[in-house]
């Protein structure tokens, strides 16, 4: 038999949360980097610090989303897996505009925000995550749909514009915290707190 959880899934054996533990930890780290550096970039005092913070944020989130797409696909949770795949694409689109600065990144940000919104719905609609995480994810999705619609309607909405998307970010980070908590708790051996 070949080694690794991917090989086990291909051979039809069940992949348990404990088998996914290293993948879950790495995905949680990526989500954590995204949360911390995403907010840091939003409040960065200088444009070059903002770009660096958002680059770290973007790479962490793309890696985390790719790993989570694989994790949930192997479990047969196709909607959740496709949500994380769409999330990775959306984050990649946003990452492509990061070096252009806030004004130059508006088109990429609009496209990425629309993909974030769709991804959050795909991830949050199924009953995979705790209810509070799903509710926050859906609320965040609505805010990013509004943001994307405004950009596509022709408004000049910067990634730091207030009230949106500025006030969507705390909910976004809260969603990440819910995902991280889920990932770290699901593979924990029984009896450990």
pLDDT in tens, 68-109: 999 999 999 999 999 999 999 999 999 999 888 888 999 999
The interaxial angle of helices 78-97 and 47-74, nearest 10 deg, is: 160
17 preceded by a cis bond (ω within 30 of 0): no
Compute the distance between CA of residue 100 and CA of residue 25 in angstroms, rounded to an integer: 32
- CA 64 vs CA 12, 35, 94, 154, 178: distances in Å: 25, 12, 15, 32, 14
Compute the distance between CA of residue 127 and CA of residue 134 in angstroms, rounded to an integer: 8
Q: In the numeric block, which tokens belong to residue 33?
A: 């980097």
Asked if the model's pLDDT at residue 124 lies above 80, the reply is yes
Show me where the domains of the chain are located: 17-186
pLDDT of residue 2: 39
Q: In the numeric block, which tokens belong to residue 25?
A: 């930890």
Residue 137 makes CB contacts below 8 A (sequence gap 6+) with 120, 121, 123, 124, 129, 175, 178
Compute the distance between CA of residue 20 and CA of residue 73 in angstroms, rounded to an integer: 12
The 10s digit of each residue's pLDDT in 36-50 is 999 999 999 898 999
Residue 127 makes CB contacts below 8 A (sequence gap 6+) with 134
The 10s digit of each residue's pLDDT in 131-166 is 999 999 999 999 999 999 999 999 999 998 999 999
Q: Is 50 helix (H, G, I), strand (E, B) or coil?
A: helix
The interaxial angle of helices 169-186 and 131-152, nearest 10 deg, is: 140
The 10s digit of each residue's pLDDT in 161-183 is 999 999 999 999 999 999 999 99
The answer to whether the Cα torsion of 125, 126, 131, 134 is positive or negative is negative
């Amino acid at each position: 038999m070949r080694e690794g959880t991917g090989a086990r899934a291909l051979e039809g054996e069940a992949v348990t949360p404990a088998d996914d533990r290293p993948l879950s930890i790495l995905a949680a780290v990526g989500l954590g980097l995204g949360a911390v550096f995403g907010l840091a970039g939003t409040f960065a005092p200088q444009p070059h610090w903002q770009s660096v913070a958002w680059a770290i944020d973007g790479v962490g989130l793309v890696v985390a989303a790719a790993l989570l797409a694989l994790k949930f696909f192997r479990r047969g949770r196709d909607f959740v897996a496709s949500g994380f795949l769409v999330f990775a694409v959306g984050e990649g689109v946003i990452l492509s505009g990061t070096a252009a600065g806030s004004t130059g990144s508006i088109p990429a940000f609009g496209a990425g925000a629309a993909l974030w919104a769709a991804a959050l719905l795909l991830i949050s609609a199924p009953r995979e995550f705790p209810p509070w995480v799903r509710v926050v994810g859906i609320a965040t999705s609505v805010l990013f749909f509004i943001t994307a619609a405004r950009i596509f309607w022709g408004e000049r909405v910067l990634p730091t514009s207030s009230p949106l998307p500025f006030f969507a970010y705390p909910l976004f980070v809260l969603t990440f915290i819910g995902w991280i908590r889920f990932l770290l708790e699901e593979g924990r051996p029984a009896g450990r707190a």
